[in-house]
Amino acid sequence: MFKKITGQSPVDYLTDLRIRQAQRLLRSSPLTIKEIATRVGIDDPSYPRSVGKDPPFPRLAKPSRGTAGACA
C-alpha cells in the first residue's frame, strides 16, 4: 500500500527523506556532518554509501576569515 502511494518502499522513502533533510542542513547550518547525521536519524555519517547511495553533495568550503578577494 505504501509503495503504491509513494512509489518507494518505506525504507527507501525514509532514507531519501533523511538525505534531503541532511542536504538542507549542510547548506544552511554550521553543524558538523556528524551532528547533522545524528539530527536526521543517521547514526553513521557514511550511511548513504552503506546503502548504495553516494553522498548528496560535498559540503561547500567556507572562505577563510581575513582573506581579501576570496570568492564563495
Per-residue pLDDT tens for 10-69?
Answer: 999 998 999 899 999 999 999 998 899 899 998 766 655 555 555 555 555 554 455 444
pLDDT for position 50: 52
For position 33, what pLDDT does the model report?
87
Residue 61 DSSP symbol: P
- Give the burial class of 42: count Cβ atoms within 10 A of its Cβ; 0-12 exposed, 13-18 middle, 19 or more buried: buried
The pLDDT of residue 55 is 54
Give residue 69's region: left, alpha or beta (phi > 0; psi -120 to 50). left
What is the grid cell recorded at 13? 522513502
